[in-house]
Structure 1
Amino acid sequence: MRIGVVTFPGSLDDGDARRAVRLAGAEPVALWHADADLRGVDAVVLPGGFSYGDYLRCGAIASFAPVMGEVVDGARRGLPVLGICNGFQVLCESHLLPGALVRNDHQKFVCKDQRLRVESTATAWTSAFAAGAEITVPLKNGEGGFVADDETLDRLEGEGRVVFRYLGANPNGSLRGIAGIANERGNVVGLMPHPEHAVEEGYGPGTDGLGLFASVLGAGLAAVGA
């Protein structure tokens, strides 16, 4: 399975995402923001960082990058897409996911190992987890507060599209403690914490993040078998 990782100007974690893909057993493929070409990949990761310097709004300019036209079209056809931190912001700005990410309610950058609960395993990126599993992955953001109107929040909850939820003290003011969500089909997932920083013992808080990449690998192999 070949998983593309997009690099935007200002991306910081694209290399880590490619490493996570490799450790999961897939082939990482570097994708460039200015190329309207996904190179035939089976899934796409939008990594963390500060794409285009976070000008206008975080992820706003990146949503208009040539590669994103292909990502949006692919996602609507069922291509698995994962947005991590800034990538989550890009997914919201691209309208692949609802809501928005705003400045942390305490107005400070947060960097810590964060406990999460896996609320849904019905996505391409979480099927390898047990429902209700508690995992720990790093969190690092200044604009990580997930917000949406009550109707949207109720719909996300009712449709089982809240994928991850913060445990313990809310680190950034995200409404209802939401750390990650999915689209209706379950092939697009965005989360603020960084699973790519928790994929190998001795580097980060453990290997809990590897489950996201193993999940999409399993989903891809199942699709091939079908």
Structure 2
Amino acid sequence: MTLHVQEWGAGDRVAVLIHGLGNSSDSWWRVGPALADNGYRVVAVDLPGHGKSEPLAAYGAEALASSVVASVPRNPALAIGHSLGGLVLAHAVAELRPGIAVYEDPAFVVSSDPVVAEGFRAQKAWGIDDLEREHPRWDDTSRRHKLDALTAWDPTIVDHLGAFTSAPVDAPVVPSVLVLADPSRLIPPPFADALAARGFVVDVVPDSGHVIHLDDHDGFLAALARHGVVPARG
């Protein structure tokens, strides 16, 4: 399956961006141009059933990863996956082979709790008031993009979440950085410590929510700069 992609920039280095559940490539509306300004050609996918990409009859982590690998250049300089996109990147990384993988508050283990699934499904009916309540630090553009993404999103993916294979993270395949929320509900400290012991670099953006790049865009870019992805700001 070939996915819809959105691109920014025309640099010699490629950056691949993978969004989270119920979002779209538009969620990178600030990160994409920022990376392009730093010499990247940025390729952001719409995962199956998200944005402008077609849905799947059956969803799974491996199927999502295969669709990403089929839709973006191999051996990019950088790949970033947020939340579910982090899980997808973990399944794709051995074949994609980026120079560096950045996992933004990744969902390395997906809950099989039906209450969690129904919570995600309920977001399909959210309006702007719900987004203002749930994401008070987002600006209006970010909320508008999220609302558009929820309108396009195929919520039947939540029926399959319980069968999603956990991330293969026994050891990093390529240089790998975890950029975590503060606190992170998906990668709590004991899990973060275990991943660090396996060779993953762990970074935390202080006082940030789950969607770090929308909660604290500057803090997210500063984390990328700490690991050589973009230059540090003077």
Greater fraction of residues in strand: 1
Normalising by structure 2, report the TM-score. 0.41
Kindly indicate which of the two structures has a greater share of residues assigned to helix: 2
TM-score, length-scaled by structure 1:
0.42
